[in-house]
Amino acid sequence: MSDTIGFNDIQLDYLSIAEAEQRSGLRLVLGAYPIPGPWREACKGLFDVKGIAYASVCTANQGASDLEFGMGGTQSELYAWTAQSSAPVAIWNDERPRSSWIDQINLAERLAPEPRLVPRDSTERMHMFGFINELAGENGFGWNKRLLLVHAALSSMSSQDEGYSFWKTLGDKYLYTPERGLAAKARAIDILKALGAQLSAQQRQGRRYLIGEQLSALDIYFATFYALIDPLPPDLCPMASSYRPSYVNHDPDIAAAVGPILGPHRDFIYTEHLVLPIVF
């Protein structure tokens, strides 16, 4: 693959939803698109690290905008199966679908207790889940990065412009208002600074990971969500070239908040623990 990969270049090896519903075991509704979507990559990472085999599932009749953000009329089968229209979703046997990040972590931990990704220590455990919420939860880092994209787009176009409908629909998903768009940058910076302070404190104690002394789910979520600032280079992450500019950070204030240690930590986690993104 090259950095100029497009949506039509994908060679799908995914189950359809109809096929997946007839299977047992673990199925992950991921979508299939050449973009390192952080929620999707984090979900994959949980099960990859634990060595839990899964079947990848893709919705039918997808368009480019639906692929990235899991929305629109093509998601009717997904909605009928999971009662919501976004990926990723984890389904184990005939249990209820898990579409939230916290449920996906708990499912992975139950299916394969080792290696542990949730700390035994209660204080570390609460800190870990709190930090992941700041990355992946509503009004977290990923949420606010989406708001920044929507705000930049909608602030520069009218309702008659091509693409307006897409950005308006995406904005509705993330509860966009101009006021929330303006506030998103400060929120993102605050989260980055908190993560940097946490990693610095760990390193001063001679620890390589964000919580405790071993890999946790927080490291996985951090590494995958860091793509929203600086995706891995094209030889490691051959994402659609039209989307790379929207992932790369261009804001000097956000760059200052990243500091010198967060990027190397992402690289360490991918090198030591994770499968590279954009692997079909």
Q: What is the total residue count of the chain?
A: 280
Please tell me the predicted confidence (pLDDT) of residue 243.
Answer: 85
Is 133 a residue whose pLDDT tops 60? yes
The model's pLDDT over 139-177, given as tens digits with 9 standing for 90+, comes to 999 999 999 999 999 999 999 999 999 999 999 999 999
* Residue-wise DSSP of 212-277: TTS--HHHHHHHHHGGGTSPPPTTT----TTTHHHHS---HHHHHHHTTTHHHHHHHHHHHT-PPS
Tell me whether strands 89-92 and 26-29 are parallel, antiparallel or unpaired. antiparallel
pLDDT band at residue 186, thresholds of 50, 70 and 90? very high
| pLDDT at site 3 | 43
pLDDT more than 70, % of the chain: 89
Between CA 225 and CA 196 the distance in angstroms is 14
Q: What is the pLDDT of residues 85-111, one digit of tens each?
A: 889 999 999 999 999 999 999 999 999
